[in-house]
Amino acid sequence: MEIIGFIGIGIMGKPMVKNLIKAGYSLLIYNRSTKPLEECRKEGAMVASCVKEVAEKCSIIITMLPDSPDSEEVITGEKGIINYAKKGTIVIDMSSIDPTVSIKIATKLSEKGIEFLDAPVSGGEIKAIDGTLAIMVGGKKEIFEKVIDLFKILGQSYTLVGDVGAGNFTKLSNQIIVALNIAAVCEALIFAKKAGLSPTVVYMAIRGGLAGSAVLDNKGPMMINRNFKPGFKIKLHQKDLQNSINAGKLLNVPLPLTEKILEILKSLLDSGFGEEDHCAMLKFFEKISGVEVKD
């Protein structure tokens, strides 16, 4: 059976690896820290000692990394995949990065005859565990179709949205909506609490109406229960919004609301909350309002 390479076994990568193993795939995995590697080894994954080993042994390689510099280093860096992979290898970068970097990576790989898809995901740890991620893919249709069976295991939806880079442009659009939605939930629950209402009762009253959303259902109860365990960290959402602002400048698109939320996330980073879930944006609104959202 063909061995699938997977590099980057973090909050998202680990459950994705486990789901591929459960589906019957053979996985060769690599990560800088060893703890998640051992956990996945117990599930049946093979562990590589370096990127080179993955690149030499696998014709399909998935990467799930924190940011643009990480993707560049692992894929096209001095010790990256590009230096060891065979012609015809397919690299699927499922990281959320700057779309211009995805295009840059694809151009370099193409010169070596290596195919590339940028395929960032949305849904956080919960949907990674359930295998119900939304996958946004940029690249050639024929390459997308070759690996679509992998996407079917990892996601509930998997859409080819355009050429390379389109996946991450779509993901940034997603992240803008999610960030603004979280901020709206924060403001609304603060407003309700200040009015002397139960945040839980207000949440239950509005969730079935037009204000209802996946963000409200996922993040509202977390805020009320003060559960800030990261499914998606503030520091990563800050990174995504910064990439959105950077891309917006290239496209000459003003993003005033995104800029405001980016300022809030930066202030939370400065206050030491970068490792918490992005619903901890609530702490900013609580501080300026002088009230805690809890029953």
Catalytic residues: 171
Contact 90, 60 (CB under 8 A): yes
- Picking from 187, 190, 208, the residue whose alpha carbon sits closest to that of residue 199 is 190
- Picking from 196, 186, 243, the residue whose alpha carbon sits closest to that of residue 219 is 186
The three-class DSSP label of residue 69 is: helix
What is the distance between the alpha carbons of residues 294 and 228, in angstroms, rounded to a whole number? 13
CA distances from 265 to 128, 174, 242, 273 (A): 24, 17, 10, 9
Residues 63-94, buried b or exposed e (16+ Cβ, 10 A)? bbbbbbebbbebbbeeebbbebbeeebbbbbb
245 HSE (CA, 13 A, CB side): 14
Contact 130, 16 (CB under 8 A): no
The structure tokens 């960032």 sit at 120
What is the distance between the alpha carbons of residues 63 and 163, in angstroms, rounded to a whole number? 18
Pairing of β 3-7 and β 26-30? parallel
